[in-house]
Amino acid sequence: MSIRLCLTAALATLLLAQPTNAAEPAFLTTLGGKWTGKGSFRVNTKAPAVSVSCSFAAKSSTVSLTLDGKCRGMVLISRSIGVRLKADGQRYGGTYIGSRTGPAALSGQRRGDVLNLGIRWAKPVNGDRSAEMRVEKLGQNAMRIVTIDKDATTGKSVVTAQVDLKRN
């Protein structure tokens, strides 16, 4: 009886155990360095996409990521962009800098090589204050940053920014 009870307790412990956060620090540190790339931005969900080239410097530690850069394009002369993230276990939180409405709050989780973050704009953008951001690691020396917002009229999701970056 006691062996059966011990096996049941051990199985329950394995099934109910929370996943460890060992991979979280390793993930953030892999995003450090200098990055350059190209992509597109829309000023709103109805506007046409404008091609941009971007450069970023990323500082990372086991619990934080700071991404600072500029994007330049024909219509969008130059815009400073930044992301400040901190990991708290499996949750991420921070700030996105670069919106014309002011700093926006970021919060979310990582799934595999993708940080899925909700954006809370400082003021309404495209009819509301929410959007999404994905920071996706594409191999050892590439990443993609995407923002997605809903069109206020149709309710359809629209990619409002996408930048593909390579590590220098």
pLDDT of residue 8: 29
pLDDT of residue 24: 60
Torsion of CA 31, 37, 39, 41, to 10 degrees: 70
pLDDT of residue 76: 53
Domains in the chain, CATH or no CATH each? 21-167 (2.40.128.20)
DSSP state of 139: S
| Measured distance CA(157)–CA(150) in Å, rounded | 4
pLDDT of residue 155: 92
pLDDT of residue 35: 98
Q: Give the closest residue to 142 by CA, choosing from 65, 55, 43, 37.
A: 37
Q: pLDDT under 50 in the chain at which residues?
A: 1-22
